[in-house]
Amino acid sequence: MKYYVLFGPPGAGKGTQAGAMVERYNLCHLSTGELLRAEIAAGTPLGLQAKSLIEAGNLVPDSVVEGMIESKFRDTQGVDGFLLDGFPRTIAQARALDKMVEVTGCISIMIPDSLIQERIAHRAHIEGRADDARSEVVQNRIATYHAKTEPLIDFYRSAGKYYEIDGTGTIEEVRQRIFSAMDKL
């Protein structure tokens, strides 16, 4: 079983690229954002708690996310691995993941901050995502990414599992860079 971490700032194209990665490598896509949005849409207590945190640009507690991920690992059959999108986001989460499974590789799609803002604004308009529509929330998400998530680069690089992908260019150009890295794993 292979376990890939899909990494990068908000708006880097993780969601855009994940479908092709899942199809090519027979993976189960675990997007914490989608899992949480499903909880929010269902109006569950977890969903209501997550909604208020997300709307403020904050992260959902580790224990909640880790439990959802571990359950999916246990309950999913018929795949060759998992693509984790949006988890881990902190060193503590990465260590928790290491206790669950051995990560095969961290595929990191990188783009500059100016492009993050442009893409998130476009996504908010196209998808009607209220959490992406307010500039102060977007700025908070970028700052949170730099402060809490970016340290994962060194974590996975020191483990020899970090593969940085240039996220600029066409969707197909980025996809081919990703496939080139994953084919070596």
What pLDDT score was predicted for residue 82? 98
Sign (positive/negative) of CA torsion 35, 175, 75, 101? negative
Q: What is the pLDDT of residue 37?
A: 80
Confidence at residue 15, expressed as pLDDT on a 0 to 100 scale: 86
Q: In the Cβ-directed half-sphere of 54, how many Cα atoms lie within 13 Å? A: 20
Q: Give the pLDDT of residue 63.
A: 79
Q: What length is written for the chain?
A: 185
CB atoms within 10 A of CB 116: 20
CATH code of 90's domain: 3.40.50.300
Structural domain boundaries enclosing 38: 2-180
Sign of CA dihedral 153, 157, 159, 162: positive
Residues near 171 by Cβ (< 8 Å), separated by ≥ 6? 13, 16, 17
pLDDT of residue 90: 84
pLDDT number for residue 172: 97
Overall number of domains in the chain: 1
Alpha-carbon torsion (45, 49, 54, 58), positive or negative: negative
Structure tokens at 104: 């095969």
The answer to whether residue 64 sits within a structural domain is yes
Calpha distance 92→6 (Å, rounded): 17
Report if residue 185 sits inside a domain. Answer: no
User: What's the whole-model pTM score?
Assistant: 0.81
The answer to the question of residue 15 being in a domain is yes
Q: Is residue 43 part of a domain?
A: yes
Residue 73: what pLDDT? 93
Q: Is the peptide bond before 88 cis (omega within 30 degrees of 0)?
A: yes
- pLDDT, one tens digit for every residue, the chain (185 residues): 999 999 998 889 998 999 999 999 999 999 887 888 877 888 877 778 888 887 887 877 887 788 878 888 988 999 999 999 988 988 999 999 999 999 999 999 999 988 888 888 777 778 777 666 677 888 888 888 888 888 999 999 999 999 999 999 999 999 999 999 999 99
- Does residue 108 belong to any structural domain of this protein? yes
